[in-house]
Amino acid sequence: MSLSKREFMQVLAAASVAGMPLARHADADAATAEQALYDLPPLGRGAGFVSFLHMTDCHAQLLPVHFREPSVNLGVGRMQGQLPHRVGEHLLKTAGVKPGTALAHAFTFIDFERAARRYGRVGGFAHLATLVKRLRADRPGALLLDGGDTWQGSATSLWTNAQDMVDAAKLLGVDVMTGHWEFTYGMQRVKEIVEKDFAGKVEFLAQNVKTNDFGDPVFKPYTLRQINGVQVAIVTNKFEGFAVKLLTELDLLRRFATVIGGDTLGPGNAKPSRAPIDAMIARLGGGRAAFVGDSIYDIGAARAAGIPSIAVSFGFLMQPVEELGADAVIDGYDQLIPTLETLCATGAESAA
């Protein structure tokens, strides 16, 4: 595979963010420089964290190549001299990138020969497979996403009707992909690959591909995954059947490992009893848990079950949220994971 312009810039930009300017390894050999280039520590590990590995636009190139940014990029009309049509020193100045850094090599042709000798060729599916394995070893549950333009662009992909790249993607361990130039192989061939070669191995998503007659979607527009053992359940005082029907209509049921209603365990076993909380934890296989709610019944049930509680300030409140007595209060779901981490750090049980 030859890394596309976008992918190569993303990789080197990530390296720069991690603190590895190209100049730091000015005199290093290719192997040392390459090792440092991909020495990217995960931003987090364990429950609540997931890493996405992204590739795109390899255009069926299985072998490594040298990649050089162009020295000329013509902009027409009002785009003349504007991004993305600036190159070399003009681009570095506009983007505020220092010469001699990893980003400078990623975005420009400047000092290409020296950088090329230092880093060698880029891409190649064998090299990419090694990289994916290396990154996944530090990132349990990491998902490999393919942005498309993978099956088309080489003689062998043409001769094999994309089969060489389809097989390579499966061996590489692609989890989810979408299409672009893949559709040049025609409707029947794309559907054959998705329904046969990718079945049970690679999810193919495309939200804007529809039938000509009724405009029905041809492929799934999205996918939902449970990563790193974080399970979510519902404990409600509504009847279980009503709750399940409501979640089904909203296409949310599959996001939850189980649903326990006010009638599930029989009379006297709804919140604020601890019984439904205990049942929830048991159904999910035990382990640490936390409960998020908006009523005194929610907080009381969590307290009775001996697990931390988090109250939401934006729920169906019958009293000021501060009076519920929760271990923490959040004003939006973007605060949930940090709040759970804080509760865990202070000795309370964290979510599972």
Listing DSSP states for 96-132 in one string gives TPPTTSHHHHHH--TTHHHHHHHH--B--HHHHHHHH
Contact between 34 and 119 under an 8 Å Cβ cutoff? The reply is yes
Beta bridge partners of residue 55, listed in sequence order: 146
pLDDT of residue 311: 94
Alpha carbon distance, N-terminus to C-terminus of the chain = 39
pLDDT value for 255: 84
Determine the pLDDT at residue 25: 53
All residue ranges of the chain with pLDDT < 70 are 1-38, 45-48, 228-229, 347-352
The CA-CA-CA angle for residues 142, 145, 150, to 5°, reads 145
H helices within the chain, ranges in order?
A: 5-17, 30-37, 88-95, 102-107, 112-119, 125-137, 155-159, 163-172, 187-192, 240-249, 275-283, 296-305, 336-345
Instruction: Characterize 247-284 residue by residue with b for buried, 16 or more Cβ atoms within 10 angstroms of its Cβ, and e for exposed.
Output: beeeeeeeeeeebbbbebbeeebbbbbbbbbbbbbeeb
CB contact set of 27 (below 8 Å; sequence gap of 6+):
none
What's the pLDDT at 28? 58
* Cβ–Cβ under 8 Å, residues 226 and 215: no
| Interval 148-204: pLDDT, tens | 999 999 999 999 999 999 999 999 999 999 999 999 999 999 999 999 999 999 999
Mapped onto helix, strand or coil, the DSSP state of residue 7 is: helix
Beta carbons within 10 angstroms of residue 23's beta carbon: 14
Helix, strand or coil, per DSSP, at residue 199: coil
Domains and CATH numbers, the chain: 5-204 (no CATH), 234-345 (3.40.50.1000)
- Residue 194 has a pLDDT of 96
Q: Given this model, what pLDDT does residue 18 score?
A: 43
The Cα–Cα gap between 343 and 196 comes to 46
Q: Give the bridge partners for 177, in sequence order.
A: 146, 204
d(CA 190, CA 179): 9
Contact 36, 28 (CB under 8 A): yes
Report the interhelical angle of 30-37 vs 112-119 (nearest 10°).
Answer: 90
Residue 70, CA atoms < 13 Å, CB-side half-sphere = 8
Whole-angstrom distance, CA of residue 322 vs CA of residue 307: 18
Residues near 242 by beta carbon (within 8 Å), at least 6 away in sequence: 261
